[in-house]
Structure 1
Amino acid sequence: MSQQLPGILLFVSLAIVALALMVWGWRRRARRDAGIAAPTGPARGTRRASFGGLYVATTRHDQPLDRLNVRHLAFRSRVAIAVTDAGVALDMPGEPTVFLDAGRLDGAGRATWTIDRVVEADGLVLVAWTADDGTVCDTYIRLQDGDPDALVAEIERLRTDFASAAMGAEL
């Protein structure tokens, strides 16, 4: 046992250092991203479609390896997605509903990978949106209930309807 003690102490020390570095990194990321906020509030508008799945991550736009520590979107979770005629609602257990109104949506598409998650080709749905501070974010969702192409189509239809209504209001 006395011969194993230095090895055990070395392993425990390395584990403590690794955990401390992870906590330090996450806190540093939280400070870096403190100005980026996910808009919260109840879903508004008439429901067009509902989907269920897993919220995977939020990253900077077109930078799928740069995870953002955005309040209410920091950790993986189950998610219920509702597309309404006013926006997209992400409802996760223990968090307020994140509501991305149609004016914030910059696009939707399919993805195969993001930070620490690789799936079959086009297995993730990517929703691009703009935060209050102007940061464009990509939120990744892995659907379990429903067709990913249907979610992408609903979001794109919502964006088209919003753009048409905005142009009509300008005339």
Structure 2
Amino acid sequence: MDKVLATVVVLALIALALTGMAIAWRKRVARDSRFQIIAPGAPIVSHSSAPAEFSGLYVATTLATDPLQRVTLPGLSFRADAHVLVSMDGLSIAPRGEKSTFIPAAQIVQIHRTQVAIDKAVEKDGLTAISWTAWDTLAQEDVEFTSFFRFSIPEVRLACENALTSSFPNAKATSKEVAS
């Protein structure tokens, strides 16, 4: 009888933990649903020229002002292997198992390297970070996000960063400028 009671208690605790995680995830998705990736009035375009394609790991997207807060934007919720397409029109991020997300070139703000994302730490300057803006429908203003990528092959990372900096020359450079 003691084993049955212990089993029931453990299963109840597991069910409670899973329910709590599901509720927290739904709240996060509801909180982030106010962000619109393509700003109002911006033309909806796709890649009109042949985009350069790169494969790597999509790590996370965070608020630029709060890098410890992961956001759950459509297509950018989960860490996964991803295809990154870069053209003069913008940037497409297509994590495996998620829909592709297109960010217009006018919304790309900064391209730089970093060592740490919300839950990933690597060697010095091992992550490629792309900062971009989206529209906050609640506050009626632009909000800056940063998406982090990890390319396991240095040549692929360098080629992607070169494509990003040449496609988006208006993006600000930082002390961790990517063109090495």
- Tell whether the structures are fold-level matches, with TM greater than 0.5: yes
Q: Tell me how far 1:43 sits from its aligned partner.
A: 2.5
CA distance in 1, matches of 2:26, 2:83: 28
Q: Name whichever of 150-159 and 49-58 sits farther off.
A: 150-159
Deviation per residue, 1:117-165 (Å, 9 max, x gap):
22233222111000133121111112235443443333233222689xx
Partner of 1:168: none
Partner of residue 66 from structure 2, selected from 57, 63, 66: 63
Q: Tell me how far 1:72 sits from its aligned partner.
A: 1.5
Report if aligned partners of 2:133, 2:144 keep a CA contact under 8 Å in 1: yes
Partner of 1:143: 151
Gaps of 5+ in 1: 164-171
Partner of 1:126: 129
2:38 aligned with 1:34, yes or no? no
Report if aligned partners of 1:90, 1:97 keep a CA contact under 8 Å in 2: yes
2:154 aligned with 1:155, yes or no? no
Partner of residue 84 from structure 1, selected from 87, 90, 93: 87
Q: Tell me how far 1:94 sits from its aligned partner.
A: 4.5
CA distance in 2, matches of 1:102, 1:41: 10
**TM-score (norm. length: structure 1):** 0.80
Q: Structure 1 residue runs of 4+, over 4 Å off?
A: none
Q: Tell me how far 1:28 sits from its aligned partner.
A: 0.8
SS at match of 2:48: coil
Identity over aligned pairs, percent = 27
Report if aligned partners of 1:43, 1:99 keep a CA contact under 8 Å in 2: no
CA distance in 2, matches of 1:69, 1:119: 23
**Residues 35/44 of structure 1: CA separation in 2 closer, same or farther (3 Å cut):** farther
SS at match of 1:53: strand
Gaps of 5+ in 2: 39-43, 137-141, 173-180
**Residues 68/12 of structure 1: CA separation in 2 closer, same or farther (3 Å cut):** same
Number of positions where the alignment pairs a residue of Structure 1 with one of Structure 2: 161
Q: Name whichever of 70-79 and 145-154 sits farther off.
A: 145-154
Q: How does 1:43-62 map to 2 (within 5 A)?
A: 43-47=47-51, 49-62=52-65
CA distance in 1, matches of 2:163, 2:23: 40
CA distance in 2, matches of 1:37, 1:76: 20
Partner of 1:166: none
CA distance in 1, matches of 2:103, 2:171: 13
SS at match of 1:144: coil
